[in-house]
Amino acid sequence: MAQHFLLSTKARTLSLAQVLRCKGCGWQVSVSSGTIFAARKLSIRDILAAIAIFTNGAKGISALQLSRDLDVQYKTAFVMAHKLREAMAAEDMGAQVSGAVEVDGMYAGGYVKPANYKEHRRDRRLLENQTGKRQSVIVARERDGKTITFVAKSEAAAVPALRQRIAEGSTVYADEASHWDAFHASYETKRINHSVAYSDGEGCTNQAESFFSRLRRAEIGTHHHISGPYLAAYASEMDWREDRRRVSNGEQFAAIVTAAAKHPISRQWKGYWQRRK
């Protein structure tokens, strides 16, 4: 903000617009200038109310519900929620997990509705009967620690990216899927065969599965459908909530406000809708 007051050290407040205007150059700035809420139309009070409502949703909150609570259009609420998700996700950008780390994947999207008559139905597990829209949410979660997520076409395709997100010297816990075999060369790796047991006292991926339970319930119970391009954003929101599940609502609210204030203007979300691709 200070860079715009080069011609004068004095400014006056425009009370109606809630902005400051430099007396030297006439440049106007507000508390949201340079942040993810730059060029806003809603008042700061309404934005803070939106963050409070957004914070209180243990499994997230739908844009339709947020629009009704704020008495704004659906598009306004949709973009505002995604701006908050973008700011929250930025806190984990480039972060690594270490120690005892559980890895797993969850498939989402690409639903194929079964045919009405039995003779017309096909095995939806086969690749030729799928839509090609199915993606995998990958999680790497420290036991009693940090969670990181990202989206890939499949679990196998995520292995190279996981190597960059898991610190050296960590112990990796994974299920029996063959693509996790690659971790044995770089980490101490312990496996659990889910066809035999979900936990054998040491080897398990229960905390990774716990995260997927939260994400799946958010998808089914709150949002009902998550479009493929936005899957990573919703997964990041849920891992943020999972890591702070034992923190009070007030602290969560303050953390989201801080993240939004620190985050620069969004490259994806402009004003109250999406930038042109």
For the entire predicted model, the pTM comes to 0.85
User: With contact defined as beta carbons under 8 Å apart, do 208 and 104 qualify?
Assistant: yes
* All structural domains of the chain with their residue ranges: 1-30, 93-109+135-245
pLDDT of residue 10: 59
pLDDT of residue 35: 86
pLDDT of residue 11: 54
CATH number of 93-109+135-245: 3.30.420.10
Q: Which residues of the chain have a pLDDT value below 70? A: 1-18, 271-277
Residue 173: count of CB within 10 angstroms of its CB: 27
